[in-house]
Amino acid sequence: MQEVAGSSPARVTILKRGVLMYLKSLFLFSLLISFNLNAGENLEIKDPNELGVSQSDIDNLFNLSFEDESTQSVALLKNGYLIGERYADGFNKDSYGTSWSMAKSYYAALILISIDRGEIKSLDEKASNYLPFFDDERSVITIRQLLNMSSGLQYPDHQHETMFFRKDHLEYSRNVKLEKEPDTLFEYNNVNSMLLGEILEAATGKKADILLEERILNKIGVEKKTLWRDEAQNVLTYCCIDMSARDYAKFGQLFSNGGSWNGEQIISKELIDETFQYVWDTPNWWTDEKRGYSLHWWVSRYTEESKIFNASGRFGQYIFVDPKNDIVFVRITKYKPSKGSVQKWGNLSWLSALNNVEFLIWFYQKLEKWGFISIEAKEGREVTVITPNTDRDGASKEFYENYSLVLDAIDELSS
């Protein structure tokens, strides 16, 4: 810096110090801004070739996924890096999908954390220790049996999905009785999952959605999301978390990391390893692929050569995790978010009495199409129903048909 004519050396020194302090403050401020902008991202983009994954293999996986016109978004992570993503027209990296039953895996993770913290004794503790209404024949059911879908609770054809149309999902769940001896059969029962929120609140004193934010989502950088409750303010722990494909991928990465994130062990590796086992054979509802189930995660493929697990939800929502090769693949379907986070059926709550899920879904979609109800905020129309909602354009067909090919394509990424 040149000396200013007529100024003393002392004044010049003070001026220099002031400029340096200003530059230092500006630098620190820019770092802070950069950190805040990136804190919610926590996903660094990397060229797949640097990680030994060919672009052609990624293209094959993505092309298979987008053969189904219901696909909204796909995102692919390798070693925690984002190495590929693709979006349908009209959608982008910030577009929400809705989880449907992928939420089961999220809230099951909170059970694992409560065990790590000593708030719940173990997976084999009786659920009745936290559910006082289990003071009958249900008192024998363990938390593990709820998570493994082997509780023996009454199991109708609709898998208790009709409670989705109720104002109080927990009241419905409390009234479901024991039907068979626990641990005799795998039965995919939504009531098992809805009861998790009650267990967590009894163990911690906090609602499950608050716990999910504090103990998982805030830690892995998920800032934008919707965690749904019913009209009675019960957290929907069997379904319904809205977020972007990238943010769903972060949850999968947490499990691929063995429960750690940025050096913090959020879930013990021991319980992650126990989750990623093959426990129950599951019905071949729509694929010949042999699948299993363990602690609210599906086993997509379990052979000597390949072990892939997934969280999944109705209409084709998936978080696939290949922990051995540290690969996470997310696929979600087209979704138009409803305003709000508390379900509101208004005068349509009587629908649940019909006990036919497929008809119910068809019927309320038709009611919206015909203009009798409004799920989205649109010009000139008042929102009359607030709920997660997947239209027919978001209901999968080809993705299910390509399921085995998708798994082959995930395996091929690491071949």
* Residue 41 half-sphere exposure toward CB, CA atoms < 13 A: 11
Binned at pLDDT 50, 70 and 90, residue 369 comes out as: confident
Cα dihedral sign for 294, 297, 300, 305? negative
Alpha-carbon distance of 11 to 18, in angstroms, equals 11
Alpha-carbon distance of 321 to 257, in angstroms, equals 10
Predicted confidence (pLDDT) per residue in 220-266, tens digit = 999 999 999 999 999 999 999 999 999 999 999 999 999 999 999 99
- Phi, psi angle pair for 108, to nearest 5°: -65, -35
Q: Which residues pair with 309 in a beta bridge?
A: 299, 321
Residue with tokens 């068809």: 362
pLDDT at 326 over 80: yes
Contact indicator for 329, 71 with CB cutoff of 8 Å: no
Instruction: At 336, list the tokens.
Output: 């138009």
pLDDT at 5 over 50: no
Helix axes 103-116, 245-256, angle to 10 degrees: 40
What is the widest separation between alpha-carbon atoms in the chain?
97
Alpha-carbon distance of 257 to 326, in angstroms, equals 8
138 or 366, greater pLDDT: 138
- Indicate the range of 20-24, 121-125, 180-184 predicted with least confidence: 20-24
Inter-residue long-range contacts of 286-290, CB under 8 Å, 24+ positions, other chains counted: 286/400, 286/403, 287/400, 287/403, 287/404, 288/404, 289/403, 289/404, 289/407
Q: Which domains does the chain have, with CATH numbers?
A: 53-338+391-412 (3.40.710.10)
377 SS3 class: coil
**pLDDT average, residue stretch 382-399:** 88
Binned at pLDDT 50, 70 and 90, residue 59 comes out as: very high
Cα 345–191–106 angle (5° rounding)?
A: 90
Predicted confidence (pLDDT) per residue in 348-358, tens digit = 777 777 777 78
pLDDT, residue 372, reads 75
How does DSSP assign 51-95, residue by residue? GT--HHHHHHHHHHHTTSTTEEEEEEEETTEEEEEEE-TT--TT-
pLDDT at 14 over 60: no
pLDDT at 27 over 80: no
Alpha-carbon distance of 253 to 349, in angstroms, equals 38
Helix (H) or strand (E) holding 174: helix 169-174
pLDDT at 184 over 90: yes
Strand runs (DSSP E) across 181-231, as ranges?
A: 226-227
Average pLDDT of the chain, as a whole number: 90
Contact indicator for 142, 124 with CB cutoff of 8 Å: yes
pLDDT, residue 62, reads 98
Count of C-beta atoms within a 10 Å radius of residue 408: 16
pLDDT at 334 over 80: yes
Alpha-carbon distance of 110 to 87, in angstroms, equals 30
pLDDT at 373 over 90: no
Count of C-beta atoms within a 10 Å radius of residue 355: 14
Binned at pLDDT 50, 70 and 90, residue 201 comes out as: very high
Binned at pLDDT 50, 70 and 90, residue 378 comes out as: low
pLDDT at 61 over 70: yes
- Identify residue 47 by its one-letter amino acid code: D
pLDDT at 7 over 50: no
pLDDT at 37 over 60: no
Please tell me the pTM assigned to this model. Answer: 0.89
pLDDT at 1 over 60: no
pLDDT at 214 over 50: yes
Q: Shortest CA distance to 165 belongs to which of 347, 30, 290?
A: 347
Contact indicator for 254, 220 with CB cutoff of 8 Å: yes
**pLDDT average, residue stretch 389-414:** 96
Alpha-carbon distance of 84 to 45, in angstroms, equals 8
Contact indicator for 325, 332 with CB cutoff of 8 Å: no
Alpha-carbon distance of 395 to 261, in angstroms, equals 33
Q: In terms of C-beta density within 10 A (0-12 exposed, 13-18 middle, 19 or more buried), how is residue 365 classed? A: middle
pLDDT at 291 over 60: yes
Contacts of 160 (CB under 8 A, 6+ apart): 172, 173, 176, 189, 190, 191, 194
